[in-house]
Amino acid sequence: MTLTTPRGDVKTPAKQLIGRFSSLRGILEAPVEELRKVKGIGEVNSTGIRFVQEVARQFLKERLIEKPVFDSAQAIFEYLYHSMRDLKTEVFKVLYLNSRNQILTSEDLFQGTVDSSVVWTREVIANAIKHSATGMIFVHNHPSGNPSPSDADKEITRDLVYAGRIMQIKVLDHIIIGDNSYYSFAGNGLIEKFEMEFLTLKMRGVGEIARQNFEVKNENHAVPWR
């Protein structure tokens, strides 16, 4: 505020902002219309506050791109929360990663209703191949504010993990953003669980093929009974 009001009293409106929005984060996340309701905060100051928010968001984005993001669910949440917290419908975002787990690009692939969205596994994988990605992180929001995964969330995550394993593209995490909170599939052990399930199914499939080949081979080389 000292930048936008260099010679004015900024302490009083600053205290009023804290009183109204509770914290610095609350101030930075507040809509411009709400900021302007505070005495002493006009168009210039409210625009300045939003500018600071955008700078902080860009900083977090660049920090993510520069560093590996594995085990960084909190950092991803902090970056994406600002842009996804006010969405009225579910949006499914994919972060495509290189072999160093750095972000190549992020895409909003699917948009749904207030409580669901349709995710096409084929499109997610096709884009991964297009970007030469070796890893993926999925992020979507719950407009209800509750980040707990639904059965459908678990099913699509499982399918994406399976598809990723087949195409040798690793799924690092699926993060659900709620009201100032998030749920991490990797942090709760579900990504690892789905990977183990896939390996089990794969081994069963290999075993079944081997059994069938053994039976066919023995039928073709059967020795007549005398």
Q: What is the tens place of the pLDDT at every residue in 70-93?
A: 557 888 888 888 888 778 899 999
**DSSP H or E segment with residue 200:** helix 190-220
Contact 90, 116 (CB under 8 A): yes
What is the signed CA dihedral for 6, 9, 12, 17, rounded to 10 degrees?
A: -20
Written as one letter, the residue type at 77 is F
Q: pLDDT, tens digit, for every residue of 100-147?
A: 888 899 999 988 776 666 789 999 999 999 999 999 999 999 999 999
Of 142, 7, 35, the C-alpha closest to 86 is 142
Strands 135-141 and 170-177: parallel
Identify the pLDDT of residue 199: 92
The residues with which 97 forms a beta bridge, in sequence order, are: 103, 135
Residue in this structure with the two tokens 């980040």, named with its chain if needed:
147
Identify the pLDDT of residue 155: 94
Identify the pLDDT of residue 205: 75
- Spatial CB neighbours of 65, under 8 Å, sequence gap ≥ 6: 102, 103
Global confidence as pTM: 0.66
Helices within 22-42 (DSSP H only): 24-29, 32-35
Of 88, 94, 182, 79, the C-alpha closest to 144 is 88
Helix (H, G, I), strand (E, B) or coil at 118: coil
| CA gap 195, 169 in Å, rounded | 12
Identify the pLDDT of residue 223: 44
Written as one letter, the residue type at 66 is E
Residue in this structure with the two tokens 């087949």, named with its chain if needed:
166
Of 179, 182, 158, 161, the C-alpha closest to 170 is 161
Could you give all domains of the chain from N- to C-terminal order, each with its CATH number?
Answer: 11-59 (no CATH), 68-207 (3.40.140.10)
Length of the chain in terms of residues written: 226
Of 172, 113, 114, 181, the C-alpha closest to 147 is 181
Is the predicted pLDDT of residue 196 greater than 50, yes or no?
yes
Is the predicted pLDDT of residue 41 greater than 90, yes or no?
no
Angle at Cα 205 formed by Cα 202 and Cα 207, nearest 5°? 110
Region of 209 (left: φ > 0; alpha: ψ -120 to 50; beta: rest) is alpha
